[in-house]
Amino acid sequence: MRSVILTTRTPAIVVNFKTYPEASGPNALVIAKLCAEVAFETGASIVIAPPAMDLAIVAASVRIPVYAQHLDSVPSGSTTGHVTVENAKASGAAGTLINHSERRLKIAEIHELIDRCRMARLSTIVCTNNLAVSKACAAMEPDFVAIEPPELIGGDISVTTANPKIVSDTVRSIKQISKDVAVLCGAGVKNGGDVAKALELGTDGVLLASGVVKAQDKRAVLLDLVSGLRR
């Protein structure tokens, strides 16, 4: 069965699997199913982004939104080795990350991808690293802008603690540009307290990776993160 809950509700917890061994191949499916179980048990909105090689089987196996980690702004056809919007859609994706700090794109590519995804009815989360880029991307009207200061990604201190001002400033600036663009924050998010603080700062959720993927007790971490949606 392909992913059937295609709409990403907010507030949302978006879990990027990256290409960690703990979340690749058979492990990707294990974590995906765990995320789906917690989502249905708690009613929380959890979105997952597995590695490209695992996207189709994950999307066919869970009933929560499954996003691509990256797409290329090229057409389908004679584009060997690229991952296209059409590939993602056919594989059961509900959306995609765009411009992650580990896969930066040019502004023109971001704009083209947002347009292509809109036509294909794929949701878009555009990752940004500062206020200026956030404002520029918000003007393109993706579904989400996710502010992630790169120096905090993968660290032990959440952006909500290390630099809460960039989060609140991003939310305020983006809402002035378009009330339809939701805002996420990421980098160092690890627990329910971080999630609760993100919502207090005005965001519509969080984007994280290692906090879940590399955790010893992933279920406990997910439940703790979800608890932050209700504090």
Q: Which residue numbers are catalytic?
A: 100, 148
What does the alpha-carbon distance between residue 202 and residue 4 come to, in Å, rounded to a whole number? 29
What does the alpha-carbon distance between residue 185 and residue 196 come to, in Å, rounded to a whole number? 12
At 13 the three-state DSSP class reads strand
How far is C-alpha 216 from the geometric centre of its chain's CA atoms?
A: 22
Pairing of the two strands 67-68 and 95-98: parallel
